[in-house]
Structure 1
Amino acid sequence: MAERTAYPDGAPCWAQLLTRDAAAAQRFYGELLGWDCRDQGGWSMCHVEGKPVAAITPDPEAADPAAWTVYLSTSDLTASMAKVEAAGGKILEGPFESYALATDPAGARFALYQPDSFIGAGVQAEPGAMSWAEVNAPDGAAADAFYTTLFPYVPQRVEGGIDYTVYKAGGEAVCGRLQMDEHWVGVPPHWMVYFDVADLDAAAAKVTELGGEVPVPPFDTPHGRIAVVHHAGGGGFFSLRQPWG
């Protein structure tokens, strides 16, 4: 497994689902991704082969559909919160112990997390675990300006038919930024989380079997096959990825 023991500043290190129906979400992700969801006293930590990968938290006032929140690692929570507001974003909640909830200037929500004894996901880029995250923004240049002020990202433009930038931190590609085009009309700015699977076609079929939807069917990219899926009964939009090889 691709185990993690640390994350550079700006790297997505955790993902949390706030949902009105946590029991339904646990069943859905358990069957789809093989998660073992363990109660932590009001919320569940989800594991793959004994390693924590994500959280499912019940919230009677959660949005419908529910939304995944991506946590970005920081070595100084207080300083990062100040940078969010100085760059035009907002702190919505916190700080609470080691994290705070924020939005960028366009309204995309994310969390800041300063690791303590818990670093976040113990494994990445393995079946059932988070492998990537990206912010989908209406103004790519504005998003780049905000996030490179917040974190020591080195942005790298991806050539091709879409406006996409990869953010590098600590010498590795950690997340990305996609500029939303006419295909995204009506969709608010947001962070998208990706979970890896061994067989994307089988996983997409499983989503439908479990009562979910696959609004963007599997398609090929240079980094693997990807599909965007939605589970209306307890989970929001997210992506599944099958790496090449």
Structure 2
Amino acid sequence: MFGDVEGAKSFYGDVLGWTFGESSSEYGNYTQAYAAGKAVAAVVPPMPGQEGQSQWCLYLASPDAAATAARIREHGGEVLMEPMQVGDFGTMCLGRDPGGVVFGVWQAGVHEGFEAPPEQPGAFCWAEVYTREPGKSDAFFPAVFGYTAKQMEGEAMDFRMFNVGDDTVLGRMKMGEEFPPEVPAYINVYFTVDDCDGAVARATGHGGVLRFGPMDTPFGRFAALSDPQGASFSVIDVTRTQGEIPQISDVP
């Protein structure tokens, strides 16, 4: 959601190489973003009452948005927007976990979601829940979405991974003192790039702010950024890996 949709299109078009479809006034000026012709995201103006800081919202798939909304409430979360059918595209709702993390829920109709594979430059690749209250998120997301969990071992960080079957679909990072107190809990989305440093240079050259990195990890070289409107996101080159993957243990 962006206060300046045209500005967002210009920025992400330059940084990630996205192209954009026609704005749909029937659906709140929803504009689909594409990488190599495949859907990877969408940009929309804020909904009435949501005219705050621009931000990315990750939608988690559900076979029944109404049932998921009920589970959100049952497990201490808040439903910010009740399930709403969007034509024949699908049904959406917005929720917030007990630690303040806002997310979307999407029950697919003809629009199933991401079309590009995560390794394609410009595609959505990964996301992490950033929270100061990891215990709340660790209980909430598996209860609502049926995830199993694994913990990454390491003294330097508190990091958990949520799985659907054998597929790891979401991470959870505890926010430390490096995050100013005014930064709320949020979900950080990662987009794939073929050159992390080049993407950072393009982003900062177009008014973005480098928050962290670039840094080499066993999963790729990544950097955390804010766009000119204040929306947080990360870029990652998954082909450039360094170091050993930390030990991972199952969570009972």
TM-score (structure 1 length as normaliser): 0.89
> Which has more radius of gyration?
2
Equivalenced residues, count: 226
Deviation at 1:180, TM superposition (A): 1.0
RMSD over aligned Cα, in angstroms? 1.3
Asked if 1:32 corresponds to 2:25, the answer is no
2:127 — aligned with what? 133
CA distance in 2, matches of 1:94, 1:141: 26
CA distance in 1, matches of 2:105, 2:69: 8
1:46-69: CA deviation from partner (whole Å, max 9, x where unpaired): 0111111101002385323x1100
1:71-110: CA deviation from partner (whole Å, max 9, x where unpaired): 0001121111110001010001121111101100111110
2:243 — aligned with what? none
2:40 — aligned with what? 53
1:20 — aligned with what? 3
1:4 — aligned with what? none
TM-score (structure 2 length as normaliser): 0.86
SS at match of 2:178: helix
- For structure 2, which runs of at least 5 residues remain unmatched after alignment? 86-90, 241-252
Decide whether the 8 Å contact of 2:193 with 2:237 is kept in 1: yes
2:147 — aligned with what? 153
- For structure 1, which runs of at least 5 residues remain unmatched after alignment? 1-17
Which has the higher mean CA deviation after the structures are superposed, 209-218 or 51-60?
51-60
Decide whether the 8 Å contact of 1:53 with 1:123 is kept in 2: yes
Deviation at 1:117, TM superposition (A): 1.3
Deviation at 1:170, TM superposition (A): 2.9
1:80 — aligned with what? 68
Which has the higher mean CA deviation after the structures are superposed, 55-64 or 125-134?
55-64
CA distance in 2, matches of 1:217, 1:223: 14
Deviation at 1:147, TM superposition (A): 0.6
CA distance in 2, matches of 1:196, 1:63: 27
1:242 — aligned with what? 237
Asked if 1:105 corresponds to 2:98, the answer is yes
Decide whether the 8 Å contact of 2:69 with 2:82 is kept in 1: no
Residue type of the alignment partner of 1:213: V
Asked if 1:220 corresponds to 2:216, the answer is yes
| Residue of 201, 207, 212 corresponding to 2:203 | 207
| Residue of 75, 78, 82 corresponding to 1:90 | 78
SS at match of 1:58: coil
CA distance in 1, matches of 2:41, 2:81: 20
Structure 1 stretches of 4+ with a deviation exceeding 3 A read none
Asked if 1:142 corresponds to 2:136, the answer is yes
CA distance in 1, matches of 2:108, 2:75: 23
Residue type of the alignment partner of 2:152: V
Asked if 1:181 corresponds to 2:176, the answer is yes
Deviation at 1:141, TM superposition (A): 1.9
Residue type of the alignment partner of 1:156: K
**Percent identity of paired positions between Structure 1 and Structure 2:** 33
Deviation at 1:142, TM superposition (A): 1.7
Residue type of the alignment partner of 1:113: W
| Residue of 57, 62, 68 corresponding to 1:69 | 57
CA distance in 1, matches of 2:150, 2:239: 22
| Residue of 170, 175, 179 corresponding to 2:165 | 170
Deviation at 1:28, TM superposition (A): 0.4
Deviation at 1:199, TM superposition (A): 0.2
Residue type of the alignment partner of 1:27: S
Decide whether the 8 Å contact of 1:19 with 1:63 is kept in 2: no
